Amino acid sequence: MQTDTNTKSELTFDDFKAQVLDDYKIAVTSRECSLLGRREVLTGKAKFGIFGDGKEIPQIAWAKVFKNGDFRSGYYRDQTFMMAIGELNIEQFFAGLYANIDISHEPMSGGRQMGGHFGTHSLDENGYWKNLTKQKNSSADISPTAGQMPRLLGLAQASKIYRNVKGIDTTNFSNQGNEIAWGTIGNASTSEGLFFETINAAGVLQVPMVINIWDDEYGISVHAKHQTTKENISEILKGFQRDKDQKGYEILKVKGWDYPALIETYQKAEQIAREEHVPVMIHVVELTQPQGHSTSGSHERYKSKERLEWEAEYDCVAQMRQWMINNNIASQDELDNLDKSIKKNVRDGKKAAWKNYLDPIKSEQKEAVNLLSSLADSSSNKVFINKIVNELKAIEEPIRKDIASAVRKSLRYVISETSEAKNTTLDWIASYLAKIQPEYSSYLHSQSDKAAHLIEEVIPTYDSDTEDVDGRVVLRDNFDAIFSNYPETLVFGEDSGNIGDVNQGLEGLQEKYGDLRVADVGIREATIIGQGIGMAMRGLRPIAEIQYLDYMLYALQIISDDLATLQYRTKGKQKAPLIVRTRGHRLEGIWHSGSQLGGIIHLVRGIHVLVPRNMTKAAGFYNTLLESDEPALIVECLNGYRLKEKMPNNLGKFKTPIGVVETVKEGTDITLVSYGSTLRIVEQTAKELLEVGIDAEVIDVQSLLPFDLNHDIVKSVAKTNRLMIIDEDVPGGASAYILDQILNTQNAYQYLDSQPKTLAAKPHRPAYGTDGDYFSKPSSEDIFEAVYNVMHEVNPNDFPKLR
């Protein structure tokens, strides 16, 4: 089931008729899937449904001009398009509704996303790139409204880079930059800031991006008059229209039920975007939503009788059908018969999908029933176990929760018993959970041989006469080596280009490598991240610079919902190895304090969060990540750019390992754990503690996500028997996370002779100025006194009360 994309060839009437009929078949098939899908939700077989009914005909017109190598970045109503390009069939549609965990049956996400969220496979079974120029591509959808927009910008920008930057191996990724990135969004979601930020950025960058706005006048129950000025998004964006003197957008408007006009409009949009590398906006109006927003409610509650009557008449499938009859392409009887056969195909596909979903579970149910029956026969609590067996056996359409729950509950009745049946049951549930749990939990990170934690450390080496230089010079010269060795790398951000970033870690590199590879961008953090995600999904190695860690909050939703979940939500079939560069720690003032890491690390699981204490360590992280296939956030120490470091002679080659701590001072009395700029204060305080007879061991975390993979901190605690974590985040922030890792993952509690302590900043944002920092975040005196107090509790005679 796929539409013919050869729309420009000379056609006979019979050929034209066949194409139109094929398009109609796809439209009706999609509509029937929507209708039957809603019923599956209402009967309880599926949990939730959100469908693309009412958008079928424009999506078919779009599919006709969508070429191999192109990318889609859409929202959850593009099922007809996916069917039209041959990437979604009936069984797969229903497999998504049922959350089938078998990715061969449910290729969009292996049951991890609700139906309506689509993606294609960019990676093979080993996690390596497929040839994206030989297939039609869809980046994996997310639910947050307008969240697909920033990524769309990056997907389009990749074509610009591939067309204009020489030396990149484009084999799997681009044909001379001729690819278009196509986006979709509902009219209501154009009210989101992410939409406007992306529209502005694409106009500035002039990239081959086409945004489809599906306009059915509503956002759930809220009419456009409450959503958009003038109730018309293309009207209010007229200022973006290009003219002979100024660059901008080509803005097109077309009725969503007018099949021939849609074909013509999409052909025009494709030609402009593909040949001229100009962004295009297509406002598709007069669309309908026959079943309302989703299965959560009915649109009859908020649409007037007149509106409902209009929607019935101007339904795009009904209008296409009438147009076919009026133009003698098919008779009403022919179309009635065709509709009947399609309805049967959809029903048959639904049944096959349900069978594919249910059969493996029923087999597991049978295994569990037999297992528990044997357990009951061997137990003095047979009557109680048999009750569970009978309840499990009676479930006609079980889910895996039913099976796992029944087996685990049965084990409670044999706690004090010993039998072969019990051992068999214990082995079975362990094996079952080991098999099933990864179907829901795998691919939070790369599982390929390029996973970041597999990249081995390479120590910086130095000449005998190495001079001390500013830390930013080490960083700058290492970036120079990176850009020289990796033509696919590029960096962009606020002030990153012309002045070489605010701390001159990129000084002179734009002049050397050009303004496409070392680029300034506007103040728009969300789309800076989106640029990076999209380009990374197309084989480039972008470094997206957010000027300060505090500004990450503007982009946190995109990092959290899109970047961090990408490998997980595609079950390892897409990746975006983006490096996010920023700087923070111990800057002054409420809005530039750079210490939101407690919040960040809990919102970005799926990317690495790295906190190097100096620029050599930071440079090593960049070198490591460029050999890996995973995304990461690197937080450089803002007050470290002017501190002196030795210049390594193996720039671009030394590597800081991911997830490995470093002991920077050995000691015997207490283990002090910190990172970033605070680590330097801890180091200095440890020297001062020696003056009063306290020998502290100091450990630099270096990597918050992942954390101490080798469990080296617990080895230190086993030696010192005391632990303190010092952090400039708020109480309960990153320090609490670190403590949890050490106590509950590394089981360090068993070695402690004193209460483990955390020393964090005050619960408020830091006040401005040096005094503001001193009285808001841990100072050397705070650390000294906190450590001394621990030792006072241990030995008050040797360490009398300080104050």
Q: Which residues contact 636 (CB under 8 A, 6 or more apart)?
A: 475, 505, 581, 582, 583, 584, 612, 615, 618
- DSSP code, position 241: B
Closest CA to 766 of 628, 606, 590, 618: 590
Closest CA to 83 of 130, 35, 116: 116
Map residue 587 onto helix, strand or coil: coil
Helical residues (DSSP H) of 582-672, grouped into ranges: 597-603, 615-625
8 A C-beta contact, residue 552 and residue 525:
yes
Question: In one letter, which amino acid is 64?
Answer: K
What tokens does 693 get? 């007879």
What tokens does 396 get? 């006609």
Establish whether the linkage from the previous residue to 438 is cis, with ω within 30° of 0: no
Map residue 57 onto helix, strand or coil: helix
CA–CA separation, 87 vs 500, rounded Å? Answer: 44
Strand order in the sheet with 518-520: 518-520, 489-493, 541-545, 579-584, 632-637, 608-610, 703-705
CA–CA separation, 767 vs 747, rounded Å? Answer: 37
User: What secondary structure does DSSP assign to 739-791, as a single string?
Assistant: HHIIIIIS-GGGG-SS--EEE---SSPPPSHHHHHHTTS--HHHHHHHHHHHH
8 A C-beta contact, residue 768 and residue 759:
no
In the block, residue with structure tokens 């992942």: 706
Q: At what angle do helices 420-441 and 400-410 cross, to 10 degrees?
A: 150
CA 798 to chain centre: 54
8 A C-beta contact, residue 559 and residue 604:
yes
In the block, residue with structure tokens 């470094």: 543
CA–CA separation, 549 vs 555, rounded Å? Answer: 10
| Dihedral over Cα of 316, 320, 321, 323: its sign | positive
Helical residues (DSSP H) of 2-134, grouped into ranges: 13-42, 56-63, 79-84, 90-98
Query: CA gyration radius for the chain?
Result: 30
In the block, residue with structure tokens 């003197």: 245
CA–CA separation, 320 vs 47, rounded Å? Answer: 32
Q: End-to-end distance of the chain based on CA atoms, in angstroms? A: 80
Distances (CA, A) of 448 to 128, 572, 622, 754: 8, 9, 19, 42
Other Cβ atoms closer than 10 A to 639: 17
Q: Which residues contact 3 (CB under 8 A, 6 or more apart)?
A: 19, 22, 23, 26, 60, 63, 64, 84, 85
Q: Which residues contact 370 (CB under 8 A, 6 or more apart)?
A: none
Percentages helix, strand, coil for the chain, rounded to the nearest 5?
Answer: 45, 10, 40
Catalytic residue check, 445: no
Map residue 281 onto helix, strand or coil: strand
8 A C-beta contact, residue 256 and residue 56:
no
Exactly one of 299, 445, 592, 608 is catalytic; name it: 592
* Catalytic positions, written as ranges: 592
